[in-house]
Amino acid sequence: MPVVSLREITAETVRAICDLAPHEVQSGFVASNAVSIAQAHFNPAAVFRAVYAGDEPVGFIMWRPENDGVSCFLWRFMIDGRHQGKGYGREAIALWLKRLPALGYRLARTSYVPGAAGPHGFYLGQGFKDTGEQRANGERVMELLL
């Protein structure tokens, strides 16, 4: 498997990252990368990176601190449909989780839209647990103690 890395997005790469998309059937589970990058520019605490497999861009990840000072919220995460099922998602999440304790975080949290083809099973496989919390928009919350 090529080495997976999280890389900063640049003027040269932003177009390629915006062109990445999940399978059509998954489109309701995550915003487009273009929308996520635009939103990040209005949230100074947000951090976003491209997921690379070797030198090929394959996905996108974005996170932000929560207000409690110890939780980091995985805001957006996707692997392009052509690159799914190759272990890149698992590697990318592992890389993200690994860096959090040194930044002072003790908890990783995320939320997902329930539904067939959704990411719930993926997150369970990475160690996240359901909190039982449901957001006003219907998303369900999961967390992982670091």
Ligand X SMILES: CC(C)(COP(=O)(O)OP(=O)(O)OC[C@H]1O[C@@H](n2cnc3c(N)ncnc32)[C@H](O)[C@@H]1OP(=O)(O)O)[C@@H](O)C(=O)NCCC(=O)NCCS
Residues of the shown chain interacting with ligand X in the complex, contacts defined by CB under 6 A: 22, 26, 29-30, 77-79, 84-90, 110, 112, 118-119, 121-122, 125
Determine the Cα–Cα distance for residues 70 and 74; give it in Å rounded to an integer: 13
Closest CB to ligand X among residues 11, 132 = 132
DSSP conformational letter for 81: G
Strand (E) positions, 44-126?
Answer: 47-53, 56-65, 71-79, 107-112
C-alpha dist (Å) from residue 12 to 4, 7, 17? 20, 13, 10
Closest CB to ligand X among residues 28, 104 = 28
Q: Minimum CB separation from ligand X for residue 111, in Å?
A: 7
For 145, counting Cβ atoms within 10 Å of its Cβ (0-12 exposed, 13-18 middle, 19+ buried), the class is: exposed
Phi, psi of 103 (to 5 degrees): -90, 5
Closest CB to ligand X among residues 65, 118 = 118
Closest CB to ligand X among residues 35, 104 = 35
